Amino acid sequence: DQKESKRWSCTDVSHWIQSHHPEFHSYVQLLKRENIDGARAFKYTNDQILDQIGVKHAKERASMSSTLDQLRSVMSNNFYDQF
């Protein structure tokens, strides 16, 4: 639910990605720099976010896209207090 996602700050989003997918550590600072918080994670498509943070390689795009989908699922299921 998009209302719940508004509770997630840029730091929350970055922390979740870093803790669940440490292989994307190089993108965490870029997500923060681009202010990708919970609301923006729902507002923008995966391609828009990946373009914004500069993910170019197809394999990384596919994997990071899956990670963003997982993040949205966690946010929409009200798991804010459980990450």
Token pair belonging to 47 = 């391609």
Reference 31, options 45, 6, 46, 11; nearest CA is: 11
Q: Which residues contact 80 (CB under 8 A, 6 or more apart)?
A: 4, 7, 8, 12
Task: For residue range 45-56, list pLDDT tens digits in order.
Answer: 999 999 999 999
Rounded CA separation 33/18 (Å)? 15
Task: For residue range 26-79, list pLDDT tens digits in order.
Answer: 999 999 999 999 999 999 999 999 999 999 999 999 999 999 999 999 888 765
Rounded CA separation 53/83 (Å)? 23
